[in-house]
A = this chain, B = another copy of it.
Amino acid sequence: MGRKQSFTETELLDTTKQLVLEHGYDGFHLKLLSQHLSGARSTIYQYYANKEEIVAACMKRVMSAVLDKALAIDEAEPMDALEQLLLVYVEESALHQLLGNASKINTANSSAAARDLEYIEAGHQTLKIQLSRLFERAQQNKDLRQDIPLPVLIGVFFNLIDTPNMLNIPTPAWGKLLFQMWIGGAKS
């Protein structure tokens, strides 16, 4: 056996996630990353060939987790499903923020990164389809107002995710609260 393992791939991706969220894609450096890990900067290249691949892999993993959770939702009752879905998105709000950086990844250098981004794009589509499916069914059930275009309803729903939880309400309650607001509006 060679040297002891300095850090695991999971640690690497977890740290990457945290740092990209904190500093943005352009503010994310491998030097920064290595400072938050237990090994040397050059060791990172044992796992990934370049910066792009790291971030792409990180995004892919987050997407994968969201897909798992989102597709496990029981869609019998559309409105219930939407509430559960909102909770999933709020729990994994990193996804939305991370993906904002996806377009900055230069895939020219790296086919692995390109593949990951394709996976992410496909996942994105899957989620969109699920969301549209639920919204359409909810609308057919007359659960949603008709005077506002569906894409706007969806957009507002989706945008809720990033609302800062300044009172630090526990995530499940926070998800419920946002759903309430979205459903019932602000008016008394």
Question: Provided the pairs A180-B148, A184-B185, A184-B187 are in contact, do residues A159 and B159 lie with their beta carbons within 8 angstroms?
Answer: yes
Q: How many chain copies?
A: 4
How many residues on A have C-beta within 8 angstroms of the other chain's C-beta atoms? 40
A177 at the interface (CB under 8 A from B): yes
Task: Decide if A181 touches B166 in the complex (CB within 8 Å).
Answer: no
A10 at the interface (CB under 8 A from B): no
Interface residues of A in 23-39 (CB under 8 A from B): 23-27
Interface residues of A in 134-188 (CB under 8 A from B): 142-149, 151-153, 155-157, 159-160, 162-167, 169, 177-178, 180-188
Complex CA gap A159/B166 in Å reads 12
Shortest CB-to-CB span from A64 to chain B, Å, is 24
Known contacts A144-B187, A148-B180; 5 additional CB pairs below 8 A are A24-B24, A24-B26, A25-B27, A143-B187, A152-B167
Chosen A-B contacts, 24 in total, with CB atoms closer than 8 Å, are: A23-B104, A24-B24, A24-B27, A143-B188, A144-B187, A145-B184, A146-B188, A147-B180, A148-B177, A148-B180, A149-B167, A152-B169, A152-B177, A155-B164, A155-B165, A155-B166, A156-B163, A157-B186, A159-B163, A181-B185, A182-B185, A182-B186, A183-B185, A184-B187
- The 6 lowest CB-CB distance pairs between A and B, nearest first, are A185-B185, A26-B26, A26-B27, A184-B185, A159-B163, A145-B188
